[in-house]
Structure 1
Amino acid sequence: MTEPHLLVDMQDITVSFGVVKALKGVSFDLRPGEVHALLGQNGAGKSTLIKVLSGVNERDGGSVLIHGRQTNFRSAQDSRDSGIAMVYQDLSLVPSMSVAANLFLGREPHGPLSFVRSKPLVEAAQAYLDEQGFPIRASAGVASLPFAYRQLTEIAKALMGDIKILVLDEPTSALSAGEEEILFNTVQEVTSRGVGVIYVTHRLQEVFRISDRVTVLRDGLNVGTHNTADITMEKLVSEIVGPGHERMAQATLSIDEGDRRMVISDEFAAAATRRTPVIELKGVQNGRLRGVDLQVRPGEILGLAGMIGSGRTEILETMFGLRQADQGEVLYLGKPVTWRSPRDAITAGVALVPEDRHLEGLVLGDTIAANTALPQLPHLTRAGMFNKGEATRRAKGAVGDLNVKAPGINTRLKNLSGGNQQKVVFGKWLVPEPKLLLLDEPTVGVDVGARDEIYGIIRRFAQKGCAVVVVSSDLVELELLCDTVTVVHDGRATTSVHISEVEGEERLHHLVQESAR
Structure 2
Amino acid sequence: MSEPVAVAAASSPQVPLIRVAGVTKRFGGVQALRGVNLEVLPGEVHALLGENGAGKSTLIKILSGVHAYDEGSIEIAGQRVAFDSPAKSRDAGIAVVYQDLSLVESLSVGANLMLGREPRTRLGFVKKRELMTMVSDFLKAHGIPLDARTPVGSLPFAYRQMTEICKALMGDVRILILDEPTSALTGGEEQILFEAIRTVTDRGVGVIYVTHRLNEVFRISQRVTVFRDGMNVGLFPTAETDMKQLVAAIIGPGHAALHARERTPVGSASDFPAAGCELASVTVAPILTLSKAGNDRLHDVDLTVRKGEIHGLAGLIGSGRTEILQTIFGLRPVETGAIVIDDRPLSRITPAKAIKLGVALVPEDRHLQGLVLDHSIERNLTLPRLPHFSRWGWLRSQAAVQQARSAMKKLAVKAPDSSTYVKFLSGGNQQKVVFAKWDRPRPKLLLLDEPTVGVDVGAREEIYGVVQDAARDGTGVLIVSSDLDELLRLCDRVSIVVDGCVVNTIDRANLGNAEELHHLIQLSRSSNESPKGTSFGAHAT
For the pair 1:288 / 2:290, whether they are aligned, the reply is: no
Q: Which moved more, 1:137-146 or 1:395-404?
A: 137-146
Spell out, residue by residue over 1:116-165, the C-alpha distance to the aligned partner (whole angstroms, 9 max, x if none). 44444333322221122210111112122111111111100011121100
Supply the AA of the counterpart residue of 2:101.
L
Q: Which moved more, 1:382-391 or 1:70-79?
A: 382-391
CA contact (8 A) 1:354 1:439 kept: yes
CA contact (8 A) 1:272 1:300 kept: no
SS in 1 for 2:286: coil
- Deviation of the 1:261 alpha carbon: 6.8
CA contact (8 A) 1:272 1:298 kept: no
SS in 2 for 1:278: strand
Q: CA separation in 2, counterparts of 1:76 and 1:364?
A: 25
The equivalent residue for 2:536 is none
- Deviation of the 1:453 alpha carbon: 1.0
The equivalent residue for 1:263 is 265
**What's the TM-score once normalised by structure 2's chain length?**
0.89
Residue in structure 2 matching 1:326, options 328, 332, 335:
335
Structure 1 residues 121 and 261, CA, compared in 2 at 3 Å: closer, same or farther? farther
Q: CA separation in 2, counterparts of 1:168 and 1:327?
A: 43
Spell out, residue by residue over 1:411-434, the C-alpha distance to the aligned partner (whole angstroms, 9 max, x if none). 222222211111111001112221
Q: CA separation in 1, counterparts of 2:177 and 2:521?
A: 30
Normalized per residue, the structure richer in helix is: 1
Q: CA separation in 2, counterparts of 1:266 and 1:192?
A: 49
Q: CA separation in 2, counterparts of 1:267 and 1:135?
A: 38
Output the aligned Cα RMSD.
2.2
The equivalent residue for 2:176 is 166
Q: CA separation in 2, counterparts of 1:419 and 1:159?
A: 28
CA contact (8 A) 1:14 1:60 kept: yes
Q: CA separation in 2, counterparts of 1:56 and 1:374?
A: 34
- Deviation of the 1:347 alpha carbon: 2.3
The equivalent residue for 1:108 is 118
The equivalent residue for 2:202 is 192
Supply the AA of the counterpart residue of 1:263.
P
The equivalent residue for 1:255 is none
- Deviation of the 1:239 alpha carbon: 1.2
Structure 1 residues 272 and 195, CA, compared in 2 at 3 Å: closer, same or farther? farther
Supply the AA of the counterpart residue of 1:150.
R
Structure 1 residues 480 and 397, CA, compared in 2 at 3 Å: closer, same or farther? same
SS in 1 for 2:58: helix
The equivalent residue for 1:139 is 149
The equivalent residue for 1:513 is 522
CA contact (8 A) 1:12 1:63 kept: yes
Q: CA separation in 2, counterparts of 1:261 and 1:129?
A: 44
Identity %: 55
The equivalent residue for 1:30 is 40
Structure 1 residues 157 and 454, CA, compared in 2 at 3 Å: closer, same or farther? same
Q: Which moved more, 1:271-280 or 1:380-389?
A: 271-280
Q: Which moved more, 1:228-237 or 1:132-141?
A: 228-237
The equivalent residue for 1:256 is none
For the pair 1:203 / 2:183, whether they are aligned, the reply is: no
Residue in structure 2 matching 1:337, options 334, 346, 370:
346
Matches within 5 A, 1:305-320: 305-320=314-329
The gaps in structure 2 that reach 5 residues or longer are 1-11, 273-279, 527-541
Structure 1 residues 144 and 136, CA, compared in 2 at 3 Å: closer, same or farther? same
For the pair 1:390 / 2:403, whether they are aligned, the reply is: no
Q: CA separation in 1, counterparts of 2:467 and 2:125?
A: 53
Q: Which moved more, 1:137-146 or 1:336-345?
A: 336-345
Residue in structure 2 matching 1:156, options 166, 170, 185:
166
CA contact (8 A) 1:277 1:333 kept: yes
For the pair 1:481 / 2:490, whether they are aligned, the reply is: yes
Structure 1 residues 162 and 203, CA, compared in 2 at 3 Å: closer, same or farther? same
Spell out, residue by residue over 1:159-189, the C-alpha distance to the aligned partner (whole angstroms, 9 max, x if none). 1121100001111111111001111111111
Q: CA separation in 2, counterparts of 1:370 and 1:112?
A: 54
CA contact (8 A) 1:46 1:217 kept: yes
- Deviation of the 1:275 alpha carbon: 4.9
Q: CA separation in 1, counterparts of 2:447 and 2:57?
A: 29
- Deviation of the 1:273 alpha carbon: 3.3
The ranges of structure 1 where at least 4 consecutive aligned residues each deviate by more than 6 angstroms after the TM superposition are: none
Matches within 5 A, 1:328-367: 328-367=337-376
For the pair 1:14 / 2:16, whether they are aligned, the reply is: no
Q: CA separation in 2, counterparts of 1:91 and 1:378?
A: 35
SS in 2 for 1:407: coil
- Deviation of the 1:195 alpha carbon: 0.1
CA contact (8 A) 1:9 1:30 kept: yes
Q: CA separation in 2, counterparts of 1:224 and 1:171?
A: 23
Q: CA separation in 2, counterparts of 1:302 and 1:231?
A: 33
Q: CA separation in 2, counterparts of 1:280 and 1:15?
A: 54
Structure 1 residues 272 and 444, CA, compared in 2 at 3 Å: closer, same or farther? farther
Q: Which moved more, 1:492-501 or 1:109-118?
A: 109-118
Residue in structure 1 matching 2:313, options 304, 313, 324:
304
Q: CA separation in 2, counterparts of 1:181 and 1:515?
A: 18
- Deviation of the 1:322 alpha carbon: 0.7
- Deviation of the 1:377 alpha carbon: 2.7
Residue in structure 2 matching 1:469, options 458, 461, 478:
478
- Deviation of the 1:387 alpha carbon: 2.2
Q: CA separation in 2, counterparts of 1:179 and 1:266?
A: 33
Q: CA separation in 2, counterparts of 1:309 and 1:399?
A: 34
SS in 2 for 1:274: coil
The equivalent residue for 2:437 is 428
Spell out, residue by residue over 1:351-380, the C-alpha distance to the aligned partner (whole angstroms, 9 max, x if none). 111111122111223221121122113443
- Deviation of the 1:231 alpha carbon: 2.2
For the pair 1:48 / 2:58, whether they are aligned, the reply is: yes
- Deviation of the 1:498 alpha carbon: 1.1
CA contact (8 A) 2:45 2:209 kept: yes
Q: CA separation in 2, counterparts of 1:362 and 1:404?
A: 15
Q: CA separation in 2, counterparts of 1:376 and 1:66?
A: 53
Structure 1 residues 167 and 261, CA, compared in 2 at 3 Å: closer, same or farther? farther
Residue in structure 2 matching 1:376, options 368, 378, 385:
385
Spell out, residue by residue over 1:245-273, the C-alpha distance to the aligned partner (whole angstroms, 9 max, x if none). 3x533549xxxxxxx77534559958993
Q: CA separation in 2, counterparts of 1:208 and 1:238?
A: 16
SS in 2 for 1:377: helix
CA contact (8 A) 2:257 2:462 kept: no
SS in 1 for 2:110: helix
- Deviation of the 1:398 alpha carbon: 1.1
Q: CA separation in 2, counterparts of 1:128 and 1:148?
A: 19
Q: CA separation in 1, counterparts of 2:457 and 2:183?
A: 13
Q: CA separation in 2, counterparts of 1:380 and 1:97?
A: 42
The equivalent residue for 2:7 is none
SS in 2 for 1:516: helix
The equivalent residue for 2:427 is 418
- Deviation of the 1:390 alpha carbon: 1.8
